[in-house]
Amino acid sequence: MSAKKEFRILSTTAILGYGYPLESFERGMARKPHLIAVDAGSTDPGPYYLGSGKSFTDRSCVKRDLRYMIRAGVQSNIPVVVGSAGGAGARPHLDWCLEIVREIAREEKLSFKLGVIPADVSKETVLAALRGGKIKPMDQVPPLTEAVVADCTHIVAQMGPEPLMEALKLGCQVVVAGRCYDPAVFAALALIEGYPEGLAVHLGKILECAAIAATPGSGADCAMGTLTEDSFILEALNPVRKFTVESAAAHTLYEKSDPWHLPGPGGELNLEQCSFTELPGGRVEVKGTRFVPTPSYMLKLEGARCTGYRTACIAGTRDPVMIGQIGPILETVQGQVDRILKDEKVGGKIFAHVYGKNGVMGALEPLKTTAAHELCIVIEAVAPTQAEADSLCGIFRSTLLHYGYPGRISTAGNLAFPFSPSDMPLGKLFEFGIYHLMEASPTALFPVTVEELG
């Protein structure tokens, strides 16, 4: 192998915009990393962000995080790679992030080669793959239909390391990519250098959450990974944290359904022979992870579609009589509201989230009675239009407010509202419609363009 003896990767923060202490970053830079990388995205915040094209992170926080990375990276000639730009990684998110990068270049008077890689997949491409039998659902996901594809506002595919490798080979000093498989931004340059794919991707899998995998964990601190030919070493860059076997191994469980086999684009990480060993100085060495290619290259598609509009209302009750029969009261009010809706031909559905009873766990809540002295009721109204959602929420709220339930002692009003206005139109409601695997080329969907800044 022509690779250097070791390859050091500085991961700045768990999600771009979550922040990191400058001291940690500088400690990382003092170690002369070969790569500065960060994961900017997740599906965790729910389908709204992919569907609406908005970022779930704050613009000024993202700009702050990027400024130090880009300035230091360009000045020291260390590539900076950002994946899943803008959170959900579709074109509007990518453009949002690119605008920030260009602003930084102007403000800092930096000249560099910027690589841009969108991750959007056209509906035509998805439909052709669907008709060709090249799409299959992830576990627990319904089979894809043409109607769902047509409804999605944005569809992205999680790119593997290959498109990022292309951009880096073109000499890009900063690469900003749309939706990525989280480890890809950390692994791409190491793969060009010839390091083993299993180790590079497993290291990326841990570094994508930066110091979350250390102890005490933090989503807002840096971490460093050092790759060698037969292992990688994790280390924290803040003296208050360290990596332990438990913290590193525990992270391998995080948000995964099977820690032994971690699937990604083109193959899976196999951890069956993986070992974690503690080294002095709060470091952990990991060995033995293998990358096992799948017979055909599969990419994960994500798509969100608008399925209606939402209005919410927050209210509380402190009445023991009402609390004692909250279940039947809500059912009766629901019945009354349903009749009004039918008469007025208003569509939609109400969900009452009753905090203090089962608001957090809903159907999964094992405790069937509540001992709380007060309850919070969040009324969620969902309807085909915003006007209908507003009407539905308003009717439910006013009916519940003045409902004369059996045994009622307090007759002036059943609910305490913390806010005026009480009802909050939340706009479009998005749901994940596509969470499927598609057989595809590793690079064809992800065209690299290069832009000279400065």
Partner 1 sequence: MKTKLTDIARVIRSKNSGPFELTLDVMFKSRAEFDAFRALGVLTPKLVAGLYGVPESYILKILYFEPANAVKMTLRRPLPSGAPGDSDIYGAQQHAPLMAFEFEA
Dist CA 181 CA 205 (whole Å): 9
In the bound complex, what is the minimum distance in angstroms from residue 367's beta carbon to partner 1? 9
DSSP 67-117: HHHHHHHHHHT--EEEESTTTT-SHHHHHHHHHHHHHHHHHTT--EEEEEE
419 binds partner 1 (CB under 8 A): no
259 contacts partner 1 (rule: CB under 8 A): yes
Beta strands at 35-39 and 80-83: parallel, antiparallel or unpaired: parallel
Residue 235 engages partner 1 in binding (rule: CB under 8 A): no
Beta bridge partners of 287: 275
**Which one of 26, 58, 230, 255 is in contact with partner 1 (CB under 8 A)?**
255
3-state secondary structure of 132: coil
- Point out which span in 33-41, 147-155, 257-265, 443-451 binds partner 1 (CB under 8 A): 257-265
Q: Which stretch binds partner 1 (CB under 8 A): 4-12, 120-128, 163-171, 358-366?
A: 358-366
Of 74-82, 196-204, 304-312, 399-407: span binding partner 1 (CB under 8 A): 304-312
- Residue 425 near partner 1 by CB under 8 A: no
Element (H, E) at 182: none
Of 118, 263, 308, 356, the one binding partner 1 (CB under 8 A) is: 308
Q: From the CA atom positions of the chain, what is the Rg in Å?
A: 25
Out of 88, 188, 274, 298, point to the residue binding partner 1 (CB under 8 A): 274
Least distance between partner 1 and beta carbon 193 (Å): 27
Q: Which residues contact 39 (CB under 8 A, 6 or more apart)?
A: 14, 15, 16, 83, 84, 180, 182, 185, 208, 209
Minimum distance, C-beta of residue 249 to partner 1, in the bound complex (Å): 4
CA-to-CA distance for 31 and 223, rounded, in angstroms? Answer: 12
b/e string for 261-285 if b means 16 or more Cβ within 10 A?
ebbbbbbbbbbeebebeeeeebbbb
Rounded Cα gap, residues 157 and 91, in angstroms: 12
Residues 5-44 that bind partner 1 (CB under 8 A): 43-44
Helix (H) / strand (E) element for 131: namely helix 123-131
Q: 389 in helix, strand or coil?
A: helix
- Contacts for 100 with CB less than 8 Å, ≥ 6 apart: 59, 62, 63, 66
Parallel, antiparallel or unpaired: strands 174-177 and 112-117 = parallel
By the rule CB under 8 A, 338 interacts with partner 1: no
- Looking at the DSSP assignment, which residues form a beta bridge with residue 302? 156, 435
CB nearer to partner 1: give 294 or 307. Answer: 307
Binding characters for partner 1, 97-136, by CB under 8 A (x = yes): ----------------------------------------
In the complex, least distance from residue 3 CB atom to partner 1, rounded to whole angstroms: 27
Q: Considering beta carbons, is residue 1 or 364 the nearer one to partner 1?
A: 364
The mark string for 359-378 relative to partner 1 (x by CB under 8 A, - otherwise) is xxxxxxxx------------
User: Counting contacts by CB under 8 A, is residue 287 touching partner 1?
Assistant: no
User: Which span sits near partner 1 by CB under 8 A: 104-112, 249-257, 319-327, 400-408?
Assistant: 249-257
Which range of residues in 184-192, 195-203, 398-406, 428-436 is near partner 1 by CB under 8 A?
Answer: 428-436
- The least distance separating partner 1 from the CB of residue 431, rounded to whole angstroms, comes to 5
Q: Which of 34, 353, 408, 428 binds partner 1 (CB under 8 A)?
A: 353
Query: Shortest gap between Cβ of 4 and partner 1 (angstroms)?
Result: 28
Q: How far is CA 320 from the centre of its chain?
A: 41
Question: Which residue in the set 382, 393, 437, 445 belongs to the binding site for partner 1 (CB under 8 A)?
Answer: 382
DSSP string spanning 251-317?
HHHTT-S-TTEEEETTEEEE-TT-EEEEETTTEEEEE--EEEE-SS-EEEEEEEEEEEEEEEEEEEE
430 binds partner 1 (CB under 8 A): yes
Q: To the nearest whole angstrom, how small is the minimum distance from the Cβ of residue 56 to partner 1?
A: 11
- Three-state DSSP class for residue 438: strand
Min dist CB 165 to partner 1, Å, is 26
The answer to the question of residue 279 lying near partner 1 (CB under 8 A) is no
Residue 246: CB minimum distance to partner 1, A: 6
- Residue 110: closest CA among 454, 426, 430: 454
DSSP H or E segment with residue 28: helix 22-30
Paired residues of 157 in beta bridges: 301
Distance from the Cα of residue 133 to its chain's centroid: 28
- Tell me which residues touch partner 1 (CB under 8 A): 43-48, 138-141, 245-246, 249-250, 252-260, 271, 274-276, 307-308, 310, 349, 351, 353, 359-366, 380, 382, 429-432, 435
